[in-house]
Amino acid sequence: MSSLREQLTGTSGTVIPPYRMLLPPGWEAYDLSETTERELIQRASARLQAAQNPALAPVLAGRVREVLDQLRARKGFAYAFAGDAAPSWAIGAATLIGLKRISSPEATLDQLVERAIRHHDAVPIGEGEKIVRWTERRQVSVDGEDVASFLINYLIPIPGTKRTEAVQWTATVSHEADMPADHPNLLVWLALFDTHVSTFTWTVR
């Protein structure tokens, strides 16, 4: 069984209908409210204080605000990562965000799925194969060092919207730039997120 901290639950008042999804053991999930922002900043500041490095607190607080503001601008509604209780290999290695996707005349969700199939080998997963999953790799430079991100995307249509609205979960796994796409470490992450996102279910009656 999953503890409440390992279960991500959407409730009325969010930008999407209520839902339930199990998270990996030790993962912590948050909404994108101002309360969450304050909690994350206070938590990070406490850790810096314990590490006798409080001077970095304002910088980290600004970074937290920036990330959450960017997610809100993209219609984000959830943010999850491996907490202190997670296995050590998972801490700091990956994040999971939830976004609401809405069709527009210029870019429908059907077209998004078609592009994912054509360019990223998207496949259906989960019970009833109603979840579309595809992966991407992106190269970035951090402090002058080349690193890569392995993105695992999951698109789930919102009931009653005739495929004009959907939830998109995106897991981001950071890794060395020269790590091949079929490296066992990345395949483990793929299997892990497939397993947990496949537990997604709407709780609307």
Helix or strand (DSSP H, E) at 168: strand 165-176
CATH number for the domain spanning 15: value is: 2.60.120.1690
**How does pLDDT run across 29-73, given as a tens digit for each residue?**
998 888 888 888 888 787 777 777 777 778 778 888 888 899 999
User: What pLDDT is stored for residue 40 in this prediction?
Assistant: 85
pLDDT band at 143 (very low <50, low <70, confident <90, very high): low
Q: Which residue has the higher pLDDT, 190 or 16?
A: 190
Task: Tell whether the model's pLDDT for residue 4 goes beyond 50.
Answer: no
Q: Is the pLDDT of residue 14 over 50?
A: no
DSSP structure string for 104-163: -SSS-HHHHHHHHHHHH--EEESGGG-EEEEEEEEEEEETTEEEEEEEEEEEEEPTTSTT
With contact defined as beta carbons under 8 Å apart, do 19 and 199 qualify?
no
Place of tokens 């607080």: 61
Q: For residue 117, count other CB atoms closer than 10 A to its CB.
A: 14
Q: How do strand 19-22 and strand 7-10 relate by DSSP bridges? A: antiparallel
How much is the pLDDT for 95?
A: 92
- Percentage, residues of the chain above pLDDT 90: 52
Q: Which helix (H) or strand (E) holds 96?
A: strand 94-102
Query: Is 8 a residue whose pLDDT tops 80?
Result: no
Q: How far is CA 155 from CA 69, 80, 131, 140, in A?
A: 22, 17, 6, 24
CA distance linking residue 119 with residue 107, whole number of Å: 16
pLDDT at 90: 85
- Look at 3-17, 78-92, 106-120, 149-163 and tell me which has the smallest mean pLDDT: 3-17
pLDDT, residue 11, reads 53
Which residue range forms the structural domain that includes residue 81? 4-202
Q: How many domains does the chain have?
A: 1
Task: Report which listed range, 89-93, 137-141, 160-164, is most confident.
Answer: 160-164
Q: Quick one: pLDDT at residue 202?
A: 93
Average confidence (pLDDT) over 4-13: 49
Of 74 and 57, more confident:
74
Q: Read off the pTM.
A: 0.85
pLDDT of residue 2: 36
pLDDT of residue 120 exceeding 90, the answer is yes
Measure the CA–CA gap between 154 and 126, rounded to whole angstroms.
10
